[in-house]
Amino acid sequence: MFHPRRTLRALLPALAAGLALTALPAQSAHAASTLTNGGFEADGTGAATPGGWSEYGATAASYVESGGRGGGHRLSHWASSAYKVETYQYLSGLANGAYRLTAWVRSGGGQNAAYIALKNCGGAEQRTDLPVSAAGWIRIVVPVRVTNNQCTVSVTSDANAGNWINVDDLTLTQGTSGTAVKGADISSLAKSEARGGAYRTGSGTKGDALAILRSSGMNYARLKVWVDPADGYNDKAHVLAMAQRIKAQGMKLLVDFHYSDTWADPGAQSKPAPWAGHTYTQLKTDVYRHTYDVLSALKAQGTTADMVQVGNEINGGMLWSEGSTENWPQLAGLLNSGYDAVKAVDPATSVALHLAKGGDLAGTRWWFDNAVANGVKFDAIGLSYYGYWHGTLYDFQTTLDDAATRYGKPVFVAETAYPFRLDSEDAHENIIDLAGELVPGYPATPAGQTQWMKDVASIVEAVPNGRGLGVFYWEATWTAVPGNGWDPADPSSGNGWENQALFGYDDRALPAMSWFGHR
């Protein structure tokens, strides 16, 4: 646990709180070509200025104390009044090229800004914010390209009274990082538009939702497909039509097969009505034919799927009861039938298996261990991670990293979202509508929604060995439009999700779209 109190307060007199941080001196007394004392072990508890590092601003707020992640000590920023402080190290004599800074961090949140940066490296400064994590250490990375043989490693806090961060075990190595997928599920869009839904830029200009999302940096769209839905949407025909619009925007396409006529998730995996009563052998054929039918039609019109999910949140299996996890050999047969259909259409299309509960390490291991033991074929792992349901950011990082390493596959967030307000725009109660349901440190505001997405993306970016593919925001365009509610069989049903869309109640693009610009 953290100790939000400096161990030896009398080491340095406090400077004026709120001292502005300006440009660093050209060099410091600690210039070196390798990062020095990245674990903050050189001095012991109470060091006012860590060995190898320099400080600027309210220097009394930056110090070494006991309680390191790997060793015995850590860097902390904290003060009893508002403060701005930077702990930095200037490196010179670097070989030009790509570098990646890795740091382990914790933060109580509440700062105006708290981030790790690489700057003065010859190009644009690169920053990664510290996620809010009061107990578990989170690993973040910052990539940069050095072009002038020098670089400054910086830890900065612009904080309010009592705000704190811990930083430890920094390493600077050659290499890069980033995320290839900056996506969103937009399955609700066609029905929304048909019912009168409107979408606007941040400044209020009415436009095409896909174009607005693309201009913010979105590069991948996710579409669910149902077999015979009651409202006729999210079927093959609508997926084909939307795929043309997606590809016309230069985006890639993920097709999410639910193998149902309605929502499939850990609590419901009902068979489509046309498949009811079919034997297990018939169901394998159903899965193959349906998958092949949709994907071959997409390919025929020039909009080949780039990735496919065989099943949606299949923690308990799919096509119950035949495909339940109570019968792994049968579930494996159904999953492989879908995999084979995908590859028969286009071997280059990646096949993902998608579970919910992205912070459940034990559950994720149990599922994929069984899948591997039963010969299930897959190319990637997708996890839903909603922080208000699925554990802490620490739990999420632990599960994501473990899945990538244990199974040697790329991983991605298939679904996440966060509210920008709590009240409802329609008569239907929102899924998340109470302050007590929120993740600590992330308020239900446009800024809180933005920070959540940036921090989730940063955790995916930090997956070891470059196996973090990226993130899909769930239902970015599902605003409150009469007739476009939860139940495809009930036109009067409302939407419990409009406070988590990426368009506000005024239909304008929200600031959280900026996360699409993540590295």
Residue-wise pLDDT tens digits, 401-431: 999 999 999 999 999 999 999 999 999 999 9
pTM of the model: 0.94
141: nearest Cα among 133, 150, 153: 153
**What distance in Å separates the CA atoms of residue 414 and residue 466, rounded to the nearest whole number?**
17
Q: Are 118 and 126 in contact (CB under 8 A)?
A: yes
pLDDT at 99 over 80: yes
Residue-wise pLDDT tens digits, 40-89: 999 888 889 999 999 999 999 999 999 999 899 999 999 999 999 999 99
List 313, 322, 461, 475, catalytic entry: 313
The whole-angstrom distance between residue 456's C-alpha and the CA centroid of its chain comes to 4
Q: Is 326 a catalytic residue?
A: no
Peptide bond into 321 cis (omega under 30): yes
> Which string of b and e fits 297-331 if b means at least 16 CB within 10 Å?
bbeeeebbbbbbbbbbbbbbbbbbebbebeebebb
Burial (0-12, 13-18, 19+ Cβ within 10 Å), 432: buried
Q: Is 437 a catalytic residue?
A: no
Residue-wise pLDDT tens digits, 445-495: 999 999 999 999 999 999 999 999 999 999 999 999 999 999 999 999 999
pLDDT at 32 over 80: no
